[in-house]
């Protein structure tokens, strides 16, 4: 057996400090969105799919660029339609020039 090199120390199992077991705990305060607003949302008389969509928007869980980047699913959050700004909920529904053009054309 070659003994020129000392044995390597074991690799840490998790090298990302944010994902260490001590940082994985999540409390109700860490969840995005107003709890009161979410409670009112579920009491609305509207189709369940609309409630679920709005809940996902309040919880920052819609698959828009900014949320996907935050979850390390995509490397950039740039809007894939206009390539001008970060794709957020408000950008894609209210500010994106491409989305505005589509809305105008559909009326
Ligand atoms: Zn855009």
Domain regions of the chain by residue span? 32-61, 63-107
Separation of CA 49 and ligand 1 centre (Å): 25
Separation of CA 101 and ligand 1 centre (Å): 11
What is the mean predicted confidence (pLDDT) over 85-100? 94
Separation of CA 47 and ligand 1 centre (Å): 28
Question: Is the pLDDT assigned to residue 69 strictly greater than 50?
Answer: yes
What is the mean predicted confidence (pLDDT) over 67-72? 95
pLDDT of residue 76: 94
- Report in angstroms the alpha-carbon separations of 83 from 2, 14, 22, 35: 56, 35, 38, 33
Separation of CA 95 and ligand 1 centre (Å): 7
Separation of CA 87 and ligand 1 centre (Å): 6
């Amino acid at each position: 057996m070659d003994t020129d090199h000392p044995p390597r120390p074991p690799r840490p199992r998790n090298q990302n400090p944010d994902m260490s077991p001590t940082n994985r705990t999540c409390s109700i305060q860490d969840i995005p969105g107003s709890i009161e607003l979410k409670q009112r949302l579920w009491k609305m008389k509207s189709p369940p799919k609309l409630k679920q969509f709005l809940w996902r928007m309040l919880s920052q869980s819609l698959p828009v660029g900014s949320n996907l980047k935050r979850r390390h699913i995509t490397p950039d959050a740039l809007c894939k339609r206009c390539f001008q700004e970060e794709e957020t909920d408000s950008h894609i529904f209210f500010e994106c020039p491409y989305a505005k053009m589509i809305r105008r054309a559909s009326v």
